[in-house]
Amino acid sequence: MKKFKIPAIPPTTNKCIRFPNDIIEEVEKSIEGKQCTFTAFVVEAVRVALENLKEDAEKDG
């Protein structure tokens, strides 16, 4: 399983999405003082989740 790292800002395309307020607060606390945007954090989290799903699918055959 890949370890989550707070990413640098990658090139992105704008996409609108809603998040629960408690998750927004947690993410903002996690990136405070780091060179990372909310969007970059979420994109990396989704990348890791997708990689985990692929690994699980490969294990299941």
Exposure of 42 by Cβ count < 10 A (0-12 exposed, 13-18 middle, 19+ buried)? middle
Sequence letter at residue 26 = E
pLDDT digits (tens, 9 = 90+) for 26-35: 999 999 999 9
The Cα 18–Cα 52 span in angstroms is 23
Q: What is the mean pLDDT of the chain?
A: 90
Please, are residues 8 and 59 in contact by the beta-carbon 8 Å criterion? no
Is 55's pLDDT higher than 90?
Answer: yes
- For the residues 10-37, what does the mean pLDDT come to? 91
Quote the tokens at residue 28. 């903002």
Residue 10: its pLDDT value, please?
67
Residue 40: its pLDDT value, please?
85
pLDDT digits (tens, 9 = 90+) for 36-50: 999 889 989 999 999
